[in-house]
Structure 1
Amino acid sequence: MCSDVVIRAEGLGKCFRIYDKPRDRLMQAVRGRLARLGGGPAPRLYREHWALRDISFEIRKGECIGFLGRNGSGKSTLLQIICGTLAETNGAVNVEGRIAALLELGAGFNVEFSGRENVYLNAAILGLSRAEIDAVFPQIEAFAEIGDFIDQPVKTYSSGMFVRLAFSVAVHVHPQLLVVDEALAVGDARFQSKCLDRIKALKADGATILFVSHDVGAVRTLCDRAIWLDKGEKRLEGDVLSVTAAYMKFLFDDEEPEAGPAGGNKAAPPRHKQAIAHWGEAQGSILETTLVDGAGEAMSVVQGGEDFTVRIRCSLPSDVDVTSVSIAWSIKNLAGSDLIVATTWDNGFRFEPGMDGEVLAEFRLNNHLAPGSYMLAVALEDKASATVRYLEYIEGSLYFSSIWPGTVHGMFVPHVKQAISINSQIVATL
């Protein structure tokens, strides 16, 4: 294996045998052995289910790879094979380095043992000596934040306490390879943020990370590349923004849209050349998006502190209740993370019955974005229910740059007033 390739999968496949009745499993073993002894063909009392088929990829040291796919797509099966807890049916996978895995809640914990005992047991399994565990234990205990429960049997733990302790062990044993499979979904928002920060720190230290999450935003924030699995096969592999955009489009297109009245507008809207993702129910259409300056001139470069306007021209759907329609937009960085989001709905505007035709929506703001490149996402939304329906969604409808004179820091550059006092005397106000 190449020195910087830590995982190589070649033609990986996994087949499970599905039995209709529990006794069929025993009968298969008995009759199969008798058939082998007699030289005849073995009976087949099962059906084959291929959880993975012909999966190949390489992951290099220090990469953070996101795995995407709906439930049942084979993500967890693949990670179990990589971690060695499940054997492949065909193909091969080679892995180098110490693996710390969070494949499922509490995996590897003995529920009768205390949290402290489980820490020592799991860290020892991962290759740490007693002295090394003694040295790192205070950090594990502090990060987990379970207090006196550290000396209670883990069978008394809540699901949140379980995952906090398991994650804390995994990230403090100096893993070369960290595998996280949806384990953070049960944690509260504050702890999830804390875990993501820790994962980023491990990544900065050169650890390789395999990250499974249904939160596309988290995948985009953490990962360099993504692999999309669908029905046990690799559907797409590439840079994280392109793969997540294609996956989100697939999820939306795969949903059954609600039927509208006969004669509704079902023609597909025109594609935008720059868009990296474009989906929706083809009801209504986003015709044009531009950024304009104070004089109404289109712009692609916005000066720091300058006012500019997001202008969206669209047609309203003819077969949707317009009173629930919202025009939405967001400014994203080139990793796809939302930085600024605004909608006509959230700003208190409602379309009235009978409104139709072409709409021009303008949103004015001052540029506080740090220097860099950004993109605009625009959407027509149906807010009639708690789950937003996208009538049309375009990610990457246009791209622009923000520039500032001099050196600035951070993601945003707000105007900050300051006052300096020495011995209770104000010496400067800015």
Structure 2
Amino acid sequence: MSSDDIAIRVSNLSKCYHIYDRPQDRLKQSIIPRLQRLVGRQPKNYFREFWALKDVSFEVKKGETVGIIGRNGSGKSTLLQIICGTLTPTSGTVETRGRVAALLELGSGFNPEFTGRENVYMNGAVLGLSKEEIDARFDDIAAFADIGEFIDQPVKVYSSGMYVRLAFAVAISVEPQILIVDEALSVGDAKFQAKCMDRIKKLKESGTSILFVSHDVSSVRTLCDNAIWLDKGCIRRYGDVFALTAHYMEYLFGDELKQTFKANEHQTDLSQNEVYVCREIHTENEEQPVNHWGTHKGIILEAGIYDAQGKKKNIFVNRERMQVRIHFRLPPRCNRKTLSVAFSFKDLKGTDLIVSTTWDDKQLGIECEGDTIEVIFELENCLNTGKYMLVAAIEDRAAPTIQYYEYIEGAQYFTTLFEHKYFGVFVPKVTHKVINKGSK
């Protein structure tokens, strides 16, 4: 790939912190090793090393949006701070090409004693804008932040939501070539989050390169082209956002399952290999699941979508009646009262569109006789013209954290077609009424 096509290049990046067990150890470290070197002795360290990042390398193309996911403490924020230049790496290099705007920790870069207006001018200057350029953009910044008269109050009196509103408004006002967004947006209200996501999408369409950190897998799948999974400071995976986030979700649930079964070892005869099953399958083959895992993989005997006459189909037109059928074998020694059968329809980016389980509303357990059972969900097709996938799952709802006996993402791929063109994802039945209110 040509260097001209690269917006961000990270090469062998590492960051090490010194951890001191006692305050006096920090003082000892500043004095004793120097004295030991002076007398020709091997210096002793009074700290432990913690590597927040270790040998991280990747590239972001111009106009590409890359998501960064991982558990708390995996090194995500450290990586972004080094890319932004607010933190120095222990080793390795970072190259950025173009103006960088970043929204990192809450209120980073704000002087709490300054008013919002003063902080806009200060941050704009830091980002390379002249006073005249900030003057021209100030009204748009204030309108996007939508904090009213608080724009002339010290930011130390702002709520967390006001901080984020103003910080994001300033960051996007500079028309950056590279935008870096950390979890800060999660503190805003739903309306502001939607407005921010819409603006980020427009920046993406205009060719801005974006690094986006979020714990919300749906947002990462919707917004990003590729993703990086950080784990304990190292890149565990890097590639297509859908496949990567699928494996990340497997990892999260699989880890919880291992803990659950470890605590209840006497109640199960599962081998360790059965506890966490992960199979990597290419999404191009639409006859295979993109994601298939669980503690009892194989108990789902068949899962598919049928018409009202019981015929399995891959194409459904208009508001045709549909049946989702899941035929499965009961897991050994399971509690039928807390067993749940679930399905969802997702788009091909993995976003849940319709979800239903036997545990909804009445919390219906599977208490019928027999060890082989079929559950049928009936609904009317309301998905607009497009391609979708079926997810089938067998769950245990005994604990607040759902235990997945088996989870198949992509049990069937299907298409829906509407005769007329409609906007939006769903096409529900909506009644229309026109009322003559008279003349004025």
Which TM-score applies when normalising by structure 2?
Answer: 0.88
RMSD (Å) for aligned C-alpha atoms: 2.7
The worse-fitting range, judged by mean Cα deviation, of 23-32 and 368-377 is 23-32
- What residue in structure 2 maps to residue 166 of structure 1? 167
SS in 1 for 2:260: coil
Q: Is the 8 A contact 1:115 1:154 kept in 2?
A: yes
CA offsets 1:253-272 (integer angstroms, 9 cap, x no match): 11212455856463749979
Map 1:221-300 to 2 at 5 A. 221-255=222-256, 256-258=259-261, 259-260=263-264, 262=266, 264=268, 266=270, 268=274, 274-282=288-296, 285-300=299-314
Contact 2:339 2:366 in 1 (8 A): no
- Report the equivalent of 1:148: 149
Decide whether aligned partners of structure 1 residues 250 and 349 sit closer, same or farther in structure 2, where only a CA change above 3 A counts: closer
Unaligned 5+ residue runs, structure 2? 282-286
Unaligned runs of 5+ in 1: 426-430
* 1:369-380 correspondence to structure 2 within 5 Å: 369-380=383-394
Residue 41 of structure 1 and its aligned partner are, at CA, apart by 3.9
Deviations 1:359-407 (A, max 9, x none): 2111122223222221111112223344333232221222112234465
Q: What is the one-letter code of the residue matched to 2:30?
A: A
Point out the more displaced range, 216-225 or 306-315.
Answer: 306-315
Q: Structure 2 vs 1, CA of residues 54 and 73 (structure 1 numbering), >3 Å: closer, same or farther?
A: same
Q: Counterparts of 2:299 and 2:369 in 1: how far apart (Å)?
A: 15
C-alpha separation between the residues in 1 aligned to 2:385 and 2:366? 40
Q: 1:36 Cα shift?
A: 5.4
Give yes or no for contact 2:393–2:405 (8 Å, CA) kept in 1: yes
Counterpart contact for 1:285–1:314, Cα < 8 Å: yes
- How do 1:324-343 residues align onto structure 2 when only pairs under 5 Å count? 324-343=338-357
Aligned residues: 425
Q: Return 48-57 or 377-386, whichever deviates more.
A: 377-386
Q: Which amino acid aligns with 1:359?
A: I
Residues in 2 aligned to 1:423 and 1:354: alpha-carbon distance in whole angstroms: 57
Deviations along 1:189-248, whole A, 9 cap, x unmatched? 222222212211211121111111111111111111100011111100111110100011
1:265·1:318 contact (CA, 8 Å) conserved in 2?
Answer: no
Aligned partner of residue 198 in structure 1, secondary structure:
helix
Q: CA deviation at 1:356?
A: 5.0
Q: Which residue of the partner structure matches residue 194 of structure 2? A: 193
Q: TM-score, normalised by structure 1?
A: 0.90
1:42 equivalent in alignment to 2:43: yes
Q: Which amino acid aligns with 2:252?
A: L
Matched, 1:213 2:217: no
- 2:184 is the counterpart of 1:183: yes
Matches of 1:351 and 1:423, distance apart in 2: 52
1:320-366 CA-partner distances (Å, limit 9, x unpaired):
43222221111000100011111122253512657551221111222
Letter paired with 1:266: L
Structure 1 stretch displaced more, 75-84 or 183-192: 183-192
Q: Does 1:22 align with 2:23?
A: yes
> Hey, what does 1:65 align to over in structure 2?
66
Q: Does 1:358 align with 2:372?
A: yes
CA distance in 1, matches of 2:192, 2:400: 26
Q: Which of 316, 327, 345 is the equivalent residue of 1:302?
A: 316
For the residue of structure 2 that corresponds to 1:266, the secondary structure is coil
Identity of aligned residues (%): 53
Tell me which residue corresponds to 1:315.
329
Deviation of 1:318 (Å): 4.0
Q: 1:339 aligns to what SS in structure 2?
A: strand
Are the structure 2 counterparts of residues 364 and 121 from structure 1 closer, same or farther at C-alpha, using a change threshold of 3 Å?
same
- Work out whether residues 288 and 410 of structure 2, in 8 Å CA contact, stay in contact via their aligned partners in 1: yes
Tell me, yes or no, if the aligned pair for 1:303 and 1:404 is still in contact at 8 Å: yes
Counterpart for residue 428 of structure 1: none
Looking at structure 1, the residues matched to 188 and 435 of structure 2 have their Cα atoms a distance apart, in angstroms, of 43
**Which of 399-408 and 216-225 deviates more?**
399-408
Q: Which amino acid aligns with 1:99?
A: V
1 CA distance for matches of 2:264 and 2:47?
A: 44
Q: CA 1:14/1:139 → structure 2, altered by over 3 Å: closer, same or farther?
A: same
State the SS of the aligned residue for 1:183: helix
Distance in structure 1 (CA, Å) of the matches to 2:179 and 2:241 = 18
